[in-house]
Structure 1
């Protein structure tokens, strides 16, 4: 079936979201991005600055089959990404996507890309095209971890703390929890977070019952876990997750995540993913499922 390119329009948001769900169905796992990253970017990360969301959308490229179904998406989140529903795409399509990335998504300094193209390890066609076009694989990689919901998850909440869902917690409190967990207080980014964090509630797959927070006696959010549910595939993704820098190593992160797991089990979820390889996740039961490597363009 013929594949043609067109620019992304805001009305394509749900179409791409559904494409990512279909990708999970076809492959049995995400391929690069899942719905969490797509929705978090559109409704929180890129909405914060004037025109930022529009600039992000303007850089997205779509490739469609003649029947209108999506064949591929090229987009960025600092680095460039190809969203595909197959591990072995056609070489012609991939070359078009590389050309697009080099024109719109990658930044070059003295003949070398200052950002990267992220490629899922084992996608041999994409890797071969990358090498033929002068890309070099960097040492850095980013594993995606997963955990099956076929076990018990004991929730133990220490004295002096309470667990609340998203509808019970003020947006500013959640924003401050995010700022303190990732240690960027008094920065321009913190100002944007305080202003825009509540916008994530407008995302189509946001569920306040899966937006979980642990609150201390002063009403501060000290640990949190956002969960995105793909009901079609009975899987979920954690994004974002964090614990206030002054409240770590008390079991709060594990507690809020395990509470989320128990709620997901009640919804029939069979597996949960997280896009991080922090040792913490392995300690609570996650295991690597696939890896993305960074590739940098070196021009002749």
Structure 2
């Protein structure tokens, strides 16, 4: 095994090298999300960080392991405060490599949880015996959280979906429709929050800045009265010929009309016409996963955070 050099993210070019690393390893891993999909990296940078305000920028929390000739072997980064994701090239995936990455995460990515103590969550797939063994040996315990990662081959026929009466399924409109799209997102994901907490629509510009954004894959369901009732944004990576679905939502008063399923199926059809071969979506809640199982397939796995306080 060649000696690897660990360093922090240093310059903008590192970001684009990491993107290509994730694309290449997705192919090497037979289109299985053992590492992040490139769209998740972009979403973290342009949405979670840029729109979140409370998170450190990419360059302060990203660590790279590379060969002496500059090829990336592994990348470590958080998604929120106090968590860690390990992305490893399959040719360099060893117990020693993962132990070193977790040690770096404990030193640099842990979050304060009480006076003098820190907490860190490290994510591992449920069938990843290597990482689970390392985590157990370092004093981590498995949490009850489950990120269900759904995968669908687009070689499987995509069924037609009837559209609820009066609704129209189409791509998001121009700049003038962004406020309506933003409002629909607020209503879908904050149904119990008072409207006074809504802080505007300008954040959606960061969504549209992402390299893989395509307005024709930003699918919406429009109600008879003209408001956006449901939405599904899809990120297509033509290098891997895969699509990543994030987010999917329906405004509360328009739920139970099959709109979430309808916009997802429309997105899958568009992906297939573009040449995509696989689509991914992830869900935490029972309701979200019920929808995704109805649209995707039974091909899924669970990503689980392991917790350690120290």
TM-score (norm 2): 0.87
The DSSP-based 3-state class of the residue aligned with 2:28 is: helix
Residue of structure 2 equivalent to 1:154: 160
**Structure 1: stretches of 5+ with no match in the other structure:** none
Residue of structure 1 equivalent to 2:37: 34
Residue of structure 2 equivalent to 1:242: 249
Residue of structure 2 equivalent to 1:211: 218
CA distance in 1, matches of 2:275, 2:296: 19
CA distance in 1, matches of 2:42, 2:147: 20
Q: For 1:267, which of 274, 280, 285 is the aligned residue?
A: 274
Cα deviation code 1:202-253 (max 9, x no counterpart): 1111111111111123332211111111212222111111111111110111
Whether the aligned pair in 2 keeps the contact of 1:143 and 1:288 (CA below 8 Å) is no
**Structure 2: stretches of 5+ with no match in the other structure:** none
Whether the aligned pair in 2 keeps the contact of 1:175 and 1:197 (CA below 8 Å) is yes
Whether the aligned pair in 2 keeps the contact of 1:112 and 1:296 (CA below 8 Å) is no
1:182-197 alignment to 2 at 5 Å?
182-183=189-190, 185-186=193-194, 190-191=198-199, 194-197=201-204
**Between Structure 1 and Structure 2, how many residues are aligned?**
297
Residue of structure 2 equivalent to 1:76: 78
Cα deviation code 1:45-88 (max 9, x no counterpart): 211255x5653431111111222121111111123211123297
Residue of structure 2 equivalent to 1:11: 13
Residue of structure 2 equivalent to 1:127: 132
Whether the aligned pair in 2 keeps the contact of 1:238 and 1:274 (CA below 8 Å) is yes
Is the counterpart of residue 227 in structure 1 residue 234 in structure 2? Answer: yes
Deviation at 1:158, TM superposition (A): 2.2
Structure 1 residues 298, 88: closer, same or farther in 2, change over 3 A? Answer: farther
Structure 1 residues 108, 238: closer, same or farther in 2, change over 3 A? Answer: same
Residue of structure 1 equivalent to 2:301: 290
TM-score (norm 1): 0.89
Whether the aligned pair in 2 keeps the contact of 1:87 and 1:123 (CA below 8 Å) is no
Q: CA RMSD in A?
A: 2.4
**Comparing 24-33 and 134-143, the one that deviates more:** 134-143
Structure 1 residues 16, 187: closer, same or farther in 2, change over 3 A? Answer: farther
